[in-house]
Amino acid sequence: LSKADMCNENSSICECNFEYNPYESPENFLLGVFALPLIIFGIITNIFSVLIFTHESMKNSSINWYLTVISLSDSLILIAAFFVLTLPRIAELLHCWSALTLSYVLSPCMYGFMTMAQTISVWMTTGVALHRYTGVCFPFQSISLLRPKNVRMFLSGILFMAFLFNGSRFFEVHIIDNCFRSNINYIIPVIEQTSLRLNPTYRTIFYGWAYTIAMFIIPFSVLIFVNIMVVIAIRKSNRLHHTSGANPMSHKKSESKERQTTIMLVAIVLMFLACNFLAFVVNILENIAPDSDLFKTLVPCNNLLVSKKVNTEIYIVHILGHCECFMQCFDIRNFF
């Protein structure tokens, strides 16, 4: 076989990887230079979020249990995204090939953790919307349904199912060799998709059906429905209070709290739908036109949107939901 034929049959051998192929400039800017401060800021704010939601005045609210797990899962998404997406591009720009090698070595594992954390974040967002829907639309039944024990079981179930659902993702990418790249004078690992990831049956069942249904169709449908019902229920409740002549001051305070919580959760859901819609489009294109220019263009934008979504979610929670506790928690006297 000629070298060209040999590389077509087996592109993983070092004879076919004697030169390092750099990333495209737009990707280097979007996922490297631009994404890095977003990731750093997102991780820091998520740490602060965990401190807030586990604060003495906040930890007894089961809603904050969801938000704590969302903050932790979003932190894991950002950490994994740094190693998988940002570090190799920053390393290339700085010609720091040891950092590039580190990112390649960690990528198979980090990719699995990133997808698992995304599943947790999606279903925790869905869970908090269902929790709010139950409390608002079924106030009497919610007393038994939303007991702390039941909420903890529900959260544990989501974590377990997320790990189970994404277990195969840890085996979709692997390192097959370490090859010397003559143009950079350094040995760089060769990463390729495994036979599992390339299997047509696996791609059809997991990406074509299971992933689309579990990560998009069900969460999108549930979130849209329950938030519409919550808004309708609160509007009805407010009109009922006005017509029944309830205590103006107590009603005003209760109404303000309900409105604030509802606006926060609805804003989170709307942001979630907006940011994940592109991921839905990318998932469809990956199944029907993986070689199209549109797919190749949208993938970096979708990856960047992941870190942007995490940061936006933190803004919404703190500005609309817990501004008072945010100020209280960061008073030095509360920690010492």
pLDDT in tens, 173-185: 999 888 888 889 9
pLDDT digits (tens, 9 = 90+) for 195-226: 999 999 999 899 889 998 999 899 989 988 98
The amino acid that residue 94 corresponds to is: L
CB 241 within 8 A of CB 251: yes
Homologous superfamily of the 3-334 domain (CATH): Rhodopsin 7-helix transmembrane proteins (1.20.1070.10)
CB 34 within 8 A of CB 195: no
Question: What residues does each domain of the chain span?
Answer: 3-334
Residue linked to tokens 């377990």: 160
At 289, the pLDDT band (50, 70, 90 cuts) reads confident
At 313, the pLDDT band (50, 70, 90 cuts) reads low
The percent of residues in the chain predicted with pLDDT above 90, rounded, is 36
Query: How many CB atoms are closer than 10 A to CB 73?
Result: 26
Report residue 111 CA to chain centroid gap. Answer: 12
Which has more pLDDT, 328 or 113?
113
Which has more pLDDT, 317 or 227?
227
Does position 74 have pLDDT exceeding 80, yes or no?
yes
Cα–Cα nearest to 17, from 244, 187, 249: 187
**22: its two tokens:** 């750099």
Backbone angles phi, psi at 331, to 5 degrees: -80, 125
Does position 320 have pLDDT exceeding 60, yes or no?
no
Cα–Cα nearest to 223, from 231, 233, 211: 231
DSSP one-letter code for 85: I
Pairing of strands 186-193, 173-181: antiparallel
> What pTM did the predictor assign?
0.85
